[in-house]
Amino acid sequence: MSEDLILELKGITKIFPGVKALNNVQFQLRRGEVHALMGENGAGKSTFIKVITGVHAAEEGHMYLNGKEVHFKGPKDALEAGIAAVYQHPTTYPTLSVTENIFIGHEFVKRGMIQWRQMNQEAKKLLDRLDADFKPGDEMGTLSVAQQQMVEIAKALSTNAKIIILDEPTAALTANESEKLYRIVDQLREEGVSIIFISHRMEDMYRLASRVTVFRDSQYIGTYDVDKITEAELIKAMVGREISDMYPKPQVKIGDEVFRIEGMSRTGYFKDVSLNIHAGEIVGLTGLVGAGRTETMEAVCGITKADGGKVFVDGKEVHIKNPADAMKAGIVLLPEDRQKQGLILGWGLGDNVILPVQDELAKGPFKVKNEAKERELAKKYLEEVDTKAVTIFDPGSSLSGGNQQKVVVAKALVQDNMKVLIMDEPTKGVDVGAKAEIYSIMGDLAKKGYGILLISSEMAEILGMSDRIYTMCKGRITGCLDIQEASQERLLELSMENSRTTGKEAVK
């Protein structure tokens, strides 16, 4: 049987300095099908998409469009060939209007002049079709992530693309918005558009796709018919092993409350957020992208300013105006973006680790740097987290993502008054092996009696490591579950549902 393939890729290998991001992968897309592409974070899906759209050039491999081999030199070639992509992180122009964001690169031009009126009308039509609740003239930067995602989809629609790639389009959407998107995808398929759909959500795949291709560790694992593969088989293909041995969650005796926030609010980001953590407890905080988890914790740590709310450590209220106050109070944040906020990449690892205590170590009235003591401490803590670094003088940029994260943990440990550790997406972009190590460090810290808040969008990780789990949705706490009553479905439901418990009830 000859298949009607609109797009085929064979033997694609993409190498970034030091890593093989794609290793001899293949992919086939039939005309008019919705094809799911699945795999863990870092499996190479996003890189693969960027090869298709011409953003990255592959080192090896061939790509065939309608049976003819094509070579895209840049994103423009792919667009002209009828391939449009909606990326995971909206690639938008925050200072420009919605209309302009939709039509940039393919504006309506008559006699050299942009036809704004016509474009605004067309944009309005597209937004109406998506049932969007904003106007073409709105400035992009003022929209929420979900709304920006919709603009991106409108943009793909506006190019009349024959192949549309959606990279985790539902990650930031509510259940209603997702359903709307499903209907749009159905509609597009009926119009003969072929769709590649990347998602972590099983429900997306079951609802939409007819076939699914799995990548793992930069390699092609297989392509399956959705109705012929069970969820367990699919997870095994994605993860490569049973999931239970991934999370070494120790049984720790939970102590007294070490940390509590009450009624934290910041206009436009989060509202009335309350939660607490006990000694030795790992508390999960999950929700969809843009739910306000990171923003809340940044406000708790004094990085941004909250409009209201109280923070308690060991039952005593603390007033935090800046990150130094938070550190003094024993609250340490491992930021989501470790390259930007966690480490100074150009500095040696040792200097990075002792940065929070450099002042305390310094000698005499003129605060002379105490190099000997610094080295000793840096060595001690870097060994404790077992980084692969050779010396404490290696620059932060020389390490992989996972090892960088461990250095950030060492930097937290060096602060000996630490009571609470807030870990924001600690395993994002980290390979499977390093992930397991970070989990084991997390377990050790809980054993030592620290209170840990684990912010994560990865359900498996949240379910595998937490004692108790809070969910957030649109800036509010929507639930608090003990690990025994938590399940992936329940958490997703709470992350998306519109009814909410008030912050007060959520504190147990």
For another protein, the closer of residues 92 and 294 by Cβ is 92
Cβ 95 to another protein, closest distance in Å?
4
Distances (CA, A) of 18 to 21, 23, 251, 257, 398: 9, 13, 38, 44, 10
For another protein, the closer of residues 17 and 433 by Cβ is 17
For another protein, the closer of residues 67 and 268 by Cβ is 268
User: What region, left, alpha or beta, does residue 367 occupy, with left being phi > 0 and alpha being psi -120 to 50 degrees?
Assistant: left
For another protein, the closer of residues 156 and 434 by Cβ is 156
**Measured distance CA(9)–CA(72) in Å, rounded:** 13
Pairing of strands 316-318, 308-313: antiparallel
Pairing of strands 19-30, 316-318: unpaired
For another protein, the closer of residues 279 and 291 by Cβ is 291
- Half-sphere exposure of residue 162, counting CA atoms within 13 Å on the CB side? 12
Cβ 366 to another protein, closest distance in Å?
34
Q: Are 249 and 461 in contact (CB under 8 A)?
A: no
For another protein, the closer of residues 28 and 115 by Cβ is 115
Which residues lie near another protein (CB under 8 A)? 53, 55, 74-76, 79, 87, 91-96, 100, 104-105, 107, 109, 112-114, 116, 139, 141-142, 144, 267-271, 474-476
**Measured distance CA(41)–CA(39) in Å, rounded:** 7
Cβ 124 to another protein, closest distance in Å?
13
| Angle at 128 (CA atoms; ends 127, 129), nearest 5 degrees | 90
Cβ 166 to another protein, closest distance in Å?
15
Q: Are 273 and 309 in contact (CB under 8 A)?
A: yes
Cβ 277 to another protein, closest distance in Å?
24
For another protein, the closer of residues 97 and 456 by Cβ is 97
Cβ 147 to another protein, closest distance in Å?
9
For another protein, the closer of residues 8 and 262 by Cβ is 262
Cβ 80 to another protein, closest distance in Å?
9
Q: Residues 138-160, buried b or exposed e (16+ Cβ, 10 A)? A: bebeebebbbbbbbbbbbbbbbe
Distances (CA, A) of 31 to 81, 153, 177, 191: 15, 20, 26, 11
**Measured distance CA(266)–CA(270) in Å, rounded:** 5
Tokens of 231: 């969820």
Q: Residues 423-457, buried b or exposed e (16+ Cβ, 10 A)? A: bbbbbbebbbebbbbbbebbbebbeebbbbbbbbb
For another protein, the closer of residues 247 and 270 by Cβ is 270
State the greatest distance between any 2 C-alpha atoms of the chain, in Å, as a whole number: 84
**Measured distance CA(216)–CA(112) in Å, rounded:** 48
Cβ 145 to another protein, closest distance in Å?
10
For another protein, the closer of residues 255 and 268 by Cβ is 268
Cβ 484 to another protein, closest distance in Å?
30
Cβ 387 to another protein, closest distance in Å?
30
Sign of CA dihedral 208, 213, 216, 218: negative
**Measured distance CA(127)–CA(105) in Å, rounded:** 19
Distances (CA, A) of 449 to 10, 91, 386, 429, 444: 52, 42, 20, 28, 9
For another protein, the closer of residues 76 and 380 by Cβ is 76
For another protein, the closer of residues 21 and 221 by Cβ is 21
Task: Give 24's contacts (C-beta < 8 A, 6+ positions apart).
Answer: 11, 12, 13, 60, 61, 219, 220
Cβ 296 to another protein, closest distance in Å?
12
Cβ 172 to another protein, closest distance in Å?
13
For another protein, the closer of residues 292 and 426 by Cβ is 292
Q: Which residue type is seen at 430?
A: V
Cβ 272 to another protein, closest distance in Å?
9
Q: Are 197 and 37 in contact (CB under 8 A)?
A: yes
Partners of 470 in beta bridges: 285, 480
